Structure 1
Amino acid sequence: MSSWQQRGDYLVEVSQRYLKGHKTFDLCRSHLVKASQISKGTVYNHFPNEADLIVAMAIDDLNHCLAQAKLDEQAYADPLNMFLFHQCRRLHDALVNQRFVIERVMPNEDILSHASEVYQQAYQQRYDEYFAWFHHVIDKIGKIVGFNRAELVTHYLRGAIINTDDAGKDGLDPNLYYQYCYAITQLLGHSDKRLPKLTVFKDWLSKMPQQQSAA
């Protein structure tokens, strides 16, 4: 990895730390200069405009999702459980680790259109890759005709993670994840399938790290 890429990754890491617990994207490049202790010229070279910084954060989030998807594929044989616990982990990260919920600002065509071409392309590549996985897993769970289930679930997940974060819900409450998974399963059209029991969510939470780096 080049020193340029490493510095860019570091700046995104600093951005994640800065935005930890925030409900709005109130970070700009001038704030990042001070927070990172890296020169203004270098920061502005990495992010030629403010939209680049937002899109870089969204790319980082998608990279985390893709990395976790690979781990989940190894951990869960059942595609429904894999999908449910993948989404639970994202919710847990937002609530327990206070990771900024990037769904508050992305996807957003206006922001993306103002980003530099290199960030536009990187975002689109990662977005397409993650949602190809997303749709593939839903297909493996079993498509139900009549509705665009992937679209329904996508909209629900975005709204739910924002609303849950806004409400300050307890990220260590197993009932929260049980209800979350119940809603996802209903929207997938698989109400006939048995959800993991509440004790499974309790056990899952007991094995989750209580706090992680925001990077």
Structure 2
Amino acid sequence: MSSWEERGNYLIEVSQRCLKGRKTFDLCRSHLVQASQISKGTIYNHFTSEADLIVAVASADYRHWVNQAEQDTLQYSDPYLRFIFHHCQRLYRILSEQSFVIARVIPNESILIQASDYYRERFDRVLNQYAQWNTQTLTEIGEVGGFNRGELLCDYLRGAMINSDDAQKHPNDAEMYYQYSYAMTQLMGHSHKRMPSIKVFLQWLADKQA
């Protein structure tokens, strides 16, 4: 990795820290000067527009979830449990780390059009990887006709993450994850599936504290 890439990754990490707890992406490139102790010229060289900064942060978030998905594929042989616990982990991270919910602003065509080719193409690649993982996992669970269930799930997950963040839900609420899983299961069209119980979620949360 070149020093330019390392510096860019550092600026993205600083951006993510600055965005913790926020409900809007109100971070500008100029804000990074003091936060990162890097010159304005260098920052503007990395991100030639505010759209570049947004898309760069979004790419990093999606890269994290692609990596998490790869770990979950190894951990859960059952695709249903893999999908459920993966998306519960996404929600847990948002609430426990007060991470900015990037779904509030991305995907957004108007922002992507404004971004430079470098950041837009990088985002498109990682978004496609993540979408493919979700699609493949749902296919393994078993497709149910009648609706575009992938789209329904995507819309639900986005809304649930934003609403849970807005409501400042507690990250260790096992019943919340149980309800979250129930909604996902219904939208998949697999109401016959045996869902993880509240007891299972309590243990899942306890394991995170170990």
| TM-score, length basis structure 2 | 0.98
Pair 1:54 & 2:54 matched: yes
1:61-210 paired onto structure 2 within 5 Å? 61-209=61-209
Alignment partners' CA distance in 2, 1:149 and 1:110: 26
Report the alpha carbon displacement of residue 34 of structure 1 after superposing the two structures with TM: 1.3
Mind listing any 5+ residue stretches in structure 2 that lack a counterpart? Answer: none
Describe the superposition over 1:102-132 as per-residue Cα deviations: whole angstroms up to 9, x where unpaired.
Answer: 0010010000000001111111111111101
Alignment partners' CA distance in 1, 2:135 and 2:209: 28
In the TM superposition, structure 1's runs of 4+ consecutive aligned residues that sit over 3 Å from their partners are none
Q: 1:6 to 1:77 in 2, by over 3 A?
A: same
Alignment partners' CA distance in 2, 1:203 and 1:136: 28
Alignment partners' CA distance in 2, 1:54 and 1:206: 34
| TM-score, length basis structure 1 | 0.96
Match of 1:43 in 2: 43
Higher RCO structure (Cα 8 Å, ≥6 apart): 1
Alignment partners' CA distance in 1, 2:97 and 2:107: 22
Describe the superposition over 1:117-164 as per-residue Cα deviations: whole angstroms up to 9, x where unpaired.
Answer: 111111111111110111000000000011111000000000110011
Report the alpha carbon displacement of residue 177 of structure 1 after superposing the two structures with TM: 0.3
Pair 1:20 & 2:49 matched: no
What amino acid does structure 2 have at the position aligned with 1:182?
Y
What amino acid does structure 2 have at the position aligned with 1:134?
N
Alignment partners' CA distance in 2, 1:33 and 1:116: 21
Alignment partners' CA distance in 2, 1:12 and 1:203: 33
Alignment partners' CA distance in 1, 2:206 and 2:14: 29
Identity of paired residues, percent? Answer: 56
What amino acid does structure 2 have at the position aligned with 1:5?
E
Alignment partners' CA distance in 2, 1:38 and 1:208: 35
Report the alpha carbon displacement of residue 209 of structure 1 after superposing the two structures with TM: 5.0
Alignment partners' CA distance in 2, 1:190 and 1:23: 33
Alignment partners' CA distance in 1, 2:77 and 2:117: 39
Mind listing any 5+ residue stretches in structure 1 that lack a counterpart? Answer: 211-215
Alignment partners' CA distance in 1, 2:136 and 2:99: 27
What amino acid does structure 1 have at the position aligned with 2:58?
A
What amino acid does structure 1 have at the position aligned with 2:42?
T
Report the alpha carbon displacement of residue 197 of structure 1 after superposing the two structures with TM: 1.1
Alignment partners' CA distance in 1, 2:209 and 2:198: 19
Alignment partners' CA distance in 2, 1:109 and 1:157: 20
Match of 1:208, SS state, is helix
